[in-house]
Amino acid sequence: MNMDLLNDLSKFILETSAKYKIDETHNISHSFDVLHVAHAIYESEFRFDPFIAEHQRIIYLAAALHDMCDKKYMNEAEGLAEINAFLNCKITDAEIAAVAAIITTMSYSKVKRDGFPDLGVYQRAYHIVREADLLTAYDFDRCMIYHMKVNKGNFKDSFFKAKELFENRVFKHADDNLFTTGYALTHYSALHNQALEHIKRWEKISFA
């Protein structure tokens, strides 16, 4: 992905976030975080599957754009239409379709309900993007801040809702067989433990 496309991509994410009031838990900061992790997974996968290089641009774009049609902030179909319009003439029609297929099937709730989709030659690209998003989900403060936005700044309720979500979802990612890439299987444990320690620190602070 060249610098010009990255420049246009960043501008689109900023403008979309402003338009739909996407807060810092899902806006450009999170987009960049997922993009960086997707790049790390991509490099790991490339070592034994050089073919994935053909899908590098799809991976990076899907990683950065995945929350720009999030139903928490907008109508998913409307957001996807805007993403497709943005990508039009920047990449091929096949790549646009692949990006759309990835970002509309990768959410935790859809995977738990429907399982993994069959995206054919884009299956590995799909898992790279999806697992990059899952690995960034171990950020406990990000989860708590999202709930604080929903709960209008209520720290107590937000902390306990975030803790419940981690106990029922995030800490079960591996047990639910949501990781398929070597990178994710190698790195999730450290992130899991860091999140546990982070929760303990918040409990020490809040119950002092």
Cβ-contact 148, 25 below 8 angstroms: no
| pLDDT < 50 positions in the chain | none
- 123 and 154 fall within a common domain: no
Q: Which domain holds residue 195?
A: 137-208
Q: Environment class of residue 123 by beta-carbon count within 10 Å: exposed (0-12), middle (13-18) or buried (19+)?
A: middle
Do 36 and 96 belong together in one domain?
yes
pLDDT value for 88: 95
Main-chain phi, psi angles of 88, to 5 degrees: -55, 130
Among 128, 156, 175, give the residue marking a domain's end. Answer: 128
Which pLDDT belongs to residue 104?
Answer: 96
29 and 122: one domain?
A: yes
Exposure string of 151-185, with b = 16+ CB inside 10 Å and e = fewer, is eeeeeeebbebbbebbeebbeebeeeebbebebbe
Same domain, 124 and 149: no
pLDDT at 208: 65
Same domain, 118 and 68: yes
* End-to-end CA gap in the chain: 49
Domain final position from 128, 146, 167: 128
Together in a domain, 188 and 145: yes
pTM: 0.96
- pLDDT score for 153: 84
181 and 90, same domain (yes or no): no
Give me the helices (H) in the chain, please: 3-20, 28-46, 56-65, 76-87, 93-103, 108-114, 123-136, 140-150, 155-168, 182-206
Residues 114 and 178 in one domain: no
Give the number of other Cβ atoms within 10 Å of residue 60's Cβ.
23
- Please report, for the domain that includes residue 47, its CATH number: 1.10.3210
Dig out the tokens for 120 from the structure.
């054919």
Distance CA 28, CA 119 (A): 27
Instruction: Say if CB 92 and CB 29 are below 8 A apart.
Output: no
For residue 207, the model assigns a pLDDT of 77
| Whether residues 111 and 191 fall in one domain | no
**pLDDT tens digits for range 180-199:** 999 999 999 999 999 999 99
The dihedral region occupied by 153, where left means phi > 0, alpha psi between -120 and 50, and beta the remainder, is left
In total, how many domains does the chain have? 2
pLDDT of residue 140: 98
Question: Among residues 88, 108, 128, which one ends one of the domains?
Answer: 128
